[in-house]
Structure 1
Amino acid sequence: MTILGIETSCDDTAAAVLVDADVRSNVISSQHDIHAEFGGVVPELASRNHQRLIVPVVQQALRDADCTADDLDAVAVTYGPGLPGSLMVGLTFAKAFARGRNLPLVGVNHLEGHLYSVDLSSPAPPRPYLCLVVSGGHTELVRVGPNFEHSVLGATRDDAAGEAFDKVAQLLDLGYPGGPAIDRLAKMGDPAFHDFPRSRLDEYDFSFSGLKTSVLYYLRDLGEEKEDVLKDHRADICASFQQAVVDVLVGAVRDAARETGAEHVAIVGGVSANSALRAAIEEAADEDGFEVYMPEMAYCMDNAAMIARAGAMHLQAGHAAGATLDIQPRLRLEKPEGVS
């Protein structure tokens, strides 16, 4: 089965071709340079640039896969959650492409794409597994079972972990996106430099707004010393903030794994590329005795290969979208219609 995957939920225009379980191409056109001067994604700019990029990105994906539209068996596309304008560009293109080629269309929940991105690497986790989704817009702890069973154990009540990275990076004048910049500097810093708060709510829910605000107040209270402290200790502040985030995430995973008896744990999403998080979860796995799975770096960030993978699973289960498929910007993790 040869599937074209399309992903435009935020500011990356992505297309990929999956042949059975083999990723033949995975093209991502990033808009980071466009949004950097604004310190974050500007929705209208994102949708405009998706319109400009979607055709050449899909064409490149087909070329890289050494195939043509005639070789495709289906089209899979993200229909939520995400920015409405961005989602609309990808879904409109996918519906027109599928209709023009008389191909089945599969709507994919962006979060499902992340959940199953670990299937793109070997070995893939057996079901059930515990999965932490950590990205710019989402932080959720999910039990993933067979037949699209998704049980959300906990989620953020406010800022997602990735949002906290971006906002703290702004406070430290590190630019956008903030996650990679903080990760790079943190490697040269002391995580014990400052004790930022670690917030955990009921059960496995998260809150990162207080941590972000704590960094804001810490910098504000430095007063006239702020510039000197940033000059000498910017890396230390990055390391201290990052350690607080990692402690919260890994602590929740460890608690959930113990309580549920999970033997297999996955970490997915853009923040799963963070070096400190990867190291900490590997250490936790060694100490607690569970197996850990993380996507290759190419599949951590938003990408279309994961959408094609989830789309293939839906097709194999007999799920296909109709012409009435519409965007759902606030889509949540749940079973598809018709799944028992």
Structure 2
Amino acid sequence: MYIPTFEDMLAAHARIEPHIRRTPVRVSDYLNELTGAQLFFKCENFQEPGAFKIRGATNAVFGLDDAQAAKGVATHSSGNHASCLSYAAMLRGIPCNVVMPSTAPQAKKDTVRRYGGVITECAPSTSAREETFARVQAQTGGDFVHPYNDPRVIAGQGTCARELMEQTDGLDIVVAPIGGGGMISGTCLTLSTLAPETRVIAAEPEQADDAYRSFKAGHIIADDAPKTIADGLLVPLKDLTWHFVSNHVAEIYTASEQEIIEAMKLTWKHLRVVMEPSSAVPLATILKNRKAFAGKRVGVIITGGNVDLDKLPWMNG
């Protein structure tokens, strides 16, 4: 298992900078007052495909040699990684095959197709996803870019924390959502060298809390098909992301479905940005654990903004 280094992150940043956006950092006096902390929201929802995953995907795609690139790339994803890999592949002019659960939001499927990605649907479980993917990859020969358990992807995601530190003049804590752990791993990778005094805290839905339980147990506990409105956080940790979580994450906090919805509403209203439920989990956990954050400078990574506007979680039916 190759564990990416700080130098890998720096190389990734140089590679992807021409193709991604340096996203802004937003603040809200209201949310600062509400939490008792100084919150700095890194708006990765402003990336062109609407999510931070463009960083890791672009690093993987543009790191391929020409012979590999000709065969294209392939992955499995509930949405944002699929969109971002399709987008990066489109930029390089190579094919992209994606396995997506049939339950993935229509908005995310539409985005993948808009960027030229070819979708094969599967049942909504980790096992079905991996079985279907093995078949698709055997047929296409594309380079497998795992959504998070890939050194190239983690190095790419780590560039977000580097920008955040440059844009905020230092932070006490950085909070990001955790599903498979790609963003958290990249954040740990960067901050353990760049700002070792900054604590990394992961935020997770109560209804998909396998990372929390893994963290407490000291080994990976994987759920096969959890259900939560935070559809970007359904996947389990893997060996590479577990390395970073177990060695560098200070704490994992969880939030209920209702707490996630309330946090999502607060950010839409007071930060005035569109974010998906997965991105609201960090604020939900900050509100729930105010004492841990009071008086601190806290970076909050808004991981994505791809929502189905006809099926917002607070709508009935």
Using the size of structure 1 for normalisation, the TM-score is 0.30
Q: Which has the larger radius of gyration?
A: 1
